[in-house]
């Protein structure tokens, strides 16, 4: 099979098939167009003992220069990519190691402002959310000892099919893949990777808990659901390629309907690329509320009493400022276990003040309150919520539905 000349997300299949069949080395000077998703895919495999494809980045043409500028030579050599990022244009290849202390939140918090510098552009918040969820999946599910690779790029209007500036982020690992991660609790998909990939976009589907349930302390099975819905509602694109299956999703665009397609064959690990128009998200609060509502509609309805109370707490109730552990899921779990849950166990209500958090990822909310809510239900003691913005409140309502729903 000849080396694909254009490694574009518009048509990812030739490149993915080329990788799957192990035709190498890939000489980047033979490539005419190289986008960051394909570079991430190559970099994630570079550290393996027996990579399916090797990369020759020794040439001088444009694609080779782009790859070297993003740090491909450093990654292949096992080093961190050297030099500064091109703010507002590219973010260099970055490795998230699967080690104690590895923080998806820190990396996402560094990448989102680099690729979307305008703090008033709500696209930045969407990119941050997507990166957190994708990087957490690497840590929780991939089992790749090398961890994962992430990078980002802005495609300028007028290049290829782009009618406006477009932000693309990609995360890849060389791990077990999504079908294998689902195998234990969803054996029905073990022989049909394409069906497993489609199923993985449903809410509350995870390799960490059984069907019919809606989460554990560590995982709610909502990450890919939220990412897919963000692509749908922001006229974006999503590519997921994993062992023996590839899925592409194209959100609604002017004159073009929404499309989801799957094909056999896929990346030897998990590769996810997410792309949306720059300034394509005009109101991230409204977007998250919409997706929260969609997830809540598909969550088991077994809750009869509400234990989150959006009202003034009784006098003497301990008030906790939630930003103590803002957007750090590990710290949030620890804080809940040491400060919130012991009080609920003693049947003492608590009041959580969300003054400083305009938006929360489901991962953070889940880590902070999943077990606390179940304890509040068991002990019949309320948790009072103070100063929660509408987006945060919708996230909390969704949490209560699935924490007590299964």
Q: Which is nearest to 288 in space by CA: 205, 387, 399? A: 399
287-308 pLDDT, tens per residue?
Answer: 999 998 898 887 765 544 678 9
Q: Is the pLDDT of residue 141 over 80?
A: no
What is the band of 152 on the pLDDT scale with cuts at 50, 70, 90? very high
Portion of the chain with pLDDT greater than 70, in percent:
86
* C-alpha triplet 252, 110, 140: angle, nearest 5°: 75
Buried b (16+ CB within 10 A) or exposed e, 148-187: bbbbbbbbeeeeeebeebbbbbbbbbbbbbbbbbbbebbe
Q: Which residues pair with 261 in a beta bridge?
A: 248
Q: Name the residue with higher pLDDT: 5 or 169.
A: 169
Please tell me the predicted confidence (pLDDT) of residue 199: 87
Cβ atoms of 363 and 132 closer than 8 Å: yes
Cβ atoms of 151 and 94 closer than 8 Å: yes
What is the band of 346 on the pLDDT scale with cuts at 50, 70, 90? very high
Judged by average pLDDT, the poorest of 183-192, 243-252, 382-391 is 183-192
Please tell me the predicted confidence (pLDDT) of residue 343: 92
Q: Which residues pair with 83 in a beta bridge?
A: none
Q: What is the mean pLDDT of the chain?
A: 85
d(CA 344, CA 335): 13
The answer to whether domain 6-289 has CATH 3.30.565.10 is yes
What is the band of 77 on the pLDDT scale with cuts at 50, 70, 90? confident
Q: Is the pLDDT of residue 216 over 50?
A: yes
Cβ atoms of 208 and 143 closer than 8 Å: no
Query: In this structure, is the dihedral angle defined by the CA atoms of residues 330, 242, 80 and 37, taken in order, positive or negative?
Result: negative
Please tell me the predicted confidence (pLDDT) of residue 121: 92
Q: What is the DSSP letter of 340?
A: I
Q: Is the pLDDT of residue 231 over 70?
A: yes
Q: How far is CA 174 from CA 159, 177, 268, 319, in A?
A: 30, 8, 6, 45
Please tell me the predicted confidence (pLDDT) of residue 186: 73
Tokens at 348, concatenated = 């003492």
What is the band of 157 on the pLDDT scale with cuts at 50, 70, 90? confident
Task: Return the number of other C-beta atoms located less than 10 Å from residue 282's C-beta.
Answer: 11
Cβ atoms of 322 and 352 closer than 8 Å: yes
Burial of residue 303 (number of CB atoms within 10 Å: 0-12, 13-18, 19+): middle
- Cα of first residue to Cα of last residue in the chain, in angstroms, is 49
d(CA 183, CA 60): 45
What is the band of 254 on the pLDDT scale with cuts at 50, 70, 90? low
Architecture per CATH, 302-403: 2-Layer Sandwich (3.30)
Cβ atoms of 174 and 20 closer than 8 Å: no
How do 148-155 and 90-96 pair as beta strands?
Answer: antiparallel
H-run or E-run covering 247: strand 245-250
**pTM above 0.75?**
yes
What is the band of 273 on the pLDDT scale with cuts at 50, 70, 90? very high
312-334 pLDDT, tens per residue?
Answer: 898 889 898 886 555 677 788 88
Cβ atoms of 307 and 383 closer than 8 Å: yes
d(CA 71, CA 79): 9
- Residues 31, 117, 170, 144: what is their CA dihedral angle, to the nearest 10 degrees? 120
Query: Cis link prior to 25 (omega < 30° from 0)?
Result: yes
Portion of the chain with pLDDT greater than 90, in percent:
40
What ranges in 77-149 are assigned the alpha helix state H?
104-115, 123-137
Q: Name the residue with higher pLDDT: 102 or 380.
A: 380
Q: Which residues pair with 273 in a beta bridge?
A: 170, 239
Please tell me the predicted confidence (pLDDT) of residue 304: 47
Q: What is the DSSP letter of 24?
A: -
Q: Which is nearest to 405 in space by CA: 377, 363, 364, 367? A: 377
d(CA 57, CA 140): 32
Please tell me the predicted confidence (pLDDT) of residue 106: 87
* Contacting residues for 174 by C-beta, under 8 A, at least 6 apart: 44, 45, 47, 48, 142, 144, 146, 268, 269
Q: Is the pLDDT of residue 178 over 70?
A: yes
d(CA 112, CA 131): 8
Q: Is the pLDDT of residue 140 over 90?
A: no
d(CA 229, CA 238): 10
Residue ranges of the domains in the chain?
A: 6-289, 302-403
Q: Do domains 6-289 and 302-403 have the same CATH topology?
A: no
d(CA 127, CA 137): 16
């Amino acid at each position: 099979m000849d080396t694909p000349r254009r490694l574009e997300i518009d048509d990812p299949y030739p490149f993915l098939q080329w990788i799957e069949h192990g035709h190498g080395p890939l000489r980047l000077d033979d490539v005419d167009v190289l986008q960051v998703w394909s570079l991430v895919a190559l970099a994630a495999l570079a550290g393996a003992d027996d990579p399916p494809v090797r990369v020759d980045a020794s040439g001088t043409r444009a694609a080779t220069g782009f790859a070297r500028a993003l740090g491909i030579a450093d990654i292949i050599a096992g080093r961190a990519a050297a030099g500064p990022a091109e703010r507002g244009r590219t973010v260099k290849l970055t490795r998230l190691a699967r080690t104690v202390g590895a923080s998806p939140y820190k990396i996402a918090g560094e990448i989102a402002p680099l690729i979307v510098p305008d703090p008033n552009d709500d696209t930045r918040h969407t990119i941050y959310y997507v990166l957190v969820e994708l990087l957490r999946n690497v840590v929780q599910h991939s089992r790749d000892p090398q961890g994962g690779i992430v990078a980002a790029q802005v495609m300028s209007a007028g290049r290829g099919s782009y009618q406006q500036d477009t932000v693309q982020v990609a995360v890849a690992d060389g791990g077990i893949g999504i079908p294998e991660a689902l195998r234990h609790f969803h054996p029905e998909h073990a022989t049909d990777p394409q069906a497993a990939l489609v199923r993985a976009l449903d809410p509350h589907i995870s390799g960490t808990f059984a069907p019919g349930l809606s989460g554990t302390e560590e995982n709610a099975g909502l990450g890919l659901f939220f990412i897919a819905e963000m692509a749908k509602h922001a006229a974006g694109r999503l590519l997921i390629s994993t062992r023996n299956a590839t899925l592409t999703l194209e959100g609604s665009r002017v004159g073009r309907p929404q499309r989801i397609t799957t094909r056999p064959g896929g990346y030897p690990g998990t590769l996810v690329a997410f792309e949306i128009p720059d300034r394509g998200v005009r109101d991230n609060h409204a977007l998250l509320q919409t997706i929260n509502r969609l997830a809540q509609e598909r969550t088991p309805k077994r809750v009869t009493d509400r234990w989150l109370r959006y009202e003034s707490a009784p006098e003497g109730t301990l008030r906790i400022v939630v930003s103590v552990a803002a957007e750090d899921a590990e710290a949030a779990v620890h804080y809940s276990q040491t400060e919130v849950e012991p009080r609920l166990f003693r049947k003492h209500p608590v009041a959580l003040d969300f003054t400083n958090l305009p938006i929360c990822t489901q991962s953070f909310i889940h880590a902070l309150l999943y077990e606390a809510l179940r304890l509040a239900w068991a002990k019949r003691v309320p948790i009072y919520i103070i100063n929660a913005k509408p987006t945060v409140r919708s996230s909390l309502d969704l949490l209560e539905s699935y924490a007590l729903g299964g």
